[in-house]
């Protein structure tokens, strides 16, 4: 999957996705603009650095839609079911991604002198110093590239194949019934769906 982050205006950017799995996605004008590191770009970099297979971008690579909109012609019931499965399977990765983005961006800004200290409540669970150092270095490297982009300029990143999740080969997120449950639908994690 290729992800293009394009500076579309003085304080605006868009994200476009080219992928192998799932319907074509409409490029989206993204929120969370920052001159140094737009929020969606930070998600991409942190999810890549920590190998999160079903965060925002892993779900897109697997065929999910997340906050993107599939082309209208491709919005079939089968596609919607697949998107739901991917979203259910990725719930914990999405939470982990959000926590890690908050930690890594805060630490990067602290090391850059933009923050005096980490904000209260920053916690991403067990993260080693080398993992954090690697993620912060990647944020700084890509931020330097982002800062010099002219309006209309893009950064194109390739999602790592080793992080690709194949929903067809997984029971994660599948809705099923359990014998003796009275036909109630349960997710693959055993919760009522």
Question: Which pTM was predicted?
Answer: 0.83
pLDDT at 170: 53
Please calculate the CA angle 45-47-52 and round it to the nearest 5 degrees: 160
Listed as ranges, residues in the chain with pLDDT below 70 are 72-74, 124, 166-193
pLDDT at 24: 87
pLDDT at 124: 67
pLDDT at 114: 93
Q: Which helix (H) or strand (E) holds 2?
A: strand 2-9
Tokens 């908050």 found at: 102
For residue 165, the number of C-alpha atoms closer than 13 Å in the C-beta half-sphere is 27
pLDDT at 97: 94
pLDDT at 30: 86
């Amino acid at each position: 999957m290729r992800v293009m982050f394009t500076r579309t205006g003085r304080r605006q950017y868009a994200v476009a996705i080219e992928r192998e799995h799932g319907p074509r996605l409409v490029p989206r004008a993204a929120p969370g603009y920052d001159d140094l590191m737009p929020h969606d770009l930070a998600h991409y970099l942190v999810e890549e650095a920590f190998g999160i297979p079903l965060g925002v971008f892993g779900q897109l690579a697997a065929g999910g839609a997340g906050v993107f909109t599939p082309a209208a012609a491709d919005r079939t019931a089968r596609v919607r079911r697949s998107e739901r499965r991917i979203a259910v399977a990725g719930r914990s990765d999405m939470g982990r991604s959000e926590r890690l983005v908050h930690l890594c961006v805060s630490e990067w800004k602290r090391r850059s002198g933009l923050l005096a200290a980490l904000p209260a409540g920053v916690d991403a669970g067990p993260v080693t110093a080398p993992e954090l150092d690697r993620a912060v270095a990647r944020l700084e490297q890509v931020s330097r590239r982002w800062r010099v982009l002219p309006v209309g300029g893009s950064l194109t990143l390739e999602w790592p194949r080793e992080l690709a999740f194949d929903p067809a080969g997984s029971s994660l997120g599948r809705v099923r019934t359990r014998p003796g449950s009275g036909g109630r639908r349960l997710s693959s994690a055993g919760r009522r769906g």
